[in-house]
Amino acid sequence: MKKALIASTLLVAGAMSGCSSLNVSSTPVPLQGSVTTDIKADIEVGEKITGKSSATKILFFTMSDDSEYADGMTYGNGGGSGLGLGGLDPVSAVKSAAAYNAIKTSGADVIVAPRYIVKKNDYLVYGTIDVTVEGYKGTIRSVE
């Protein structure tokens, strides 16, 4: 009986302990580079915009209240999942949902100079992912 009590106490203590991480990223400015294209876009840069999204991980499953994601956003292994958050990297899908929320609430066409703040709390059995994106409202005036 005493061994079962010790084992269950260790199991509960292990499940309740975990780690937490915070990642702040921004797009670095290249020291040297050249890009050429025949397409010219006139983008008006406006005020600062923000979008947020979060998800909860339980075992191998990730759940979120968000069901809409910005298409064409790629982070690490290919971006947000079209089937929800069941992809290999759940952080990518949460970033994509945060970008969608920023664009949708501000009426922007693009986010200029986006900066993502990712906060992960990861425990043995469950965890949380919170993402905030900040940038500037970009409105496309014309494309030639």
At 30 the pLDDT is 60
At 67 the pLDDT is 76
**Tokens coding 100:** 């969608």
Give me the residues of the chain with pLDDT under 50, please.
Answer: 77-86
At 37 the pLDDT is 78
Reference 65, options 74, 73, 56; nearest CA is: 56
Cβ atoms of residues 87 and 93 within 8 Å: yes
User: Residue ranges per domain, the chain?
Assistant: 19-143
At 88 the pLDDT is 60
Reference 47, options 88, 7, 105, 4; nearest CA is: 105
One-letter-per-residue 3-state SS of 14-80? HHHCEEEEEEEEECCCCCCCCCCCCCCEEEEEEEEEEEEEEEEEECCEEEECCCCCCCCCCCCCCCC
At 79 the pLDDT is 42
